[in-house]
Amino acid sequence: EPEVTQTPSHQVTQMGQEVILRCVPISNHLYFYWYRQILGQKVEFLVSFYNNEISEKSEIFDDQFSVERPDGSNFTLKIRSTKLEDSAMYFCASMVGRSQETQYFGPGTRLLVL
């Protein structure tokens, strides 16, 4: 069964460093998402991406964040200058299209900023 994959599973970085989190969505899906979940808190929407552009973004998704689909398979989230409060689990999700609105989540990347 196709699934969303994410790499790395864990990332430790120093405050101020840039990180890139990678996702490979399910191959025939057209909509892509990033969510984050700070430990013990709810899952929070960051950004949605369709047709090579951002379609929605939350107030969390500020200028420190960017997303890219550099090729036909990868979908990346870049955090330019990490802060301690960026420590969280980051989930990528994908959806085939508006006719079927189920979003499938990847296993997540646990980011720890020291």
Binding site residues, other proteins, CB under 8 A: 31, 33, 35, 41-45, 48, 56, 58, 91, 95, 98, 101-108
Question: Nearest approach, Cβ of 96 to other proteins (angstroms)?
Answer: 11
Q: Which is nearer to other proteins, 13 or 103 (CB)?
A: 103
Peptide bond into 70 cis (omega under 30): no
Q: Which is nearer to other proteins, 28 or 102 (CB)?
A: 102
Q: Which is nearer to other proteins, 62 or 71 (CB)?
A: 62
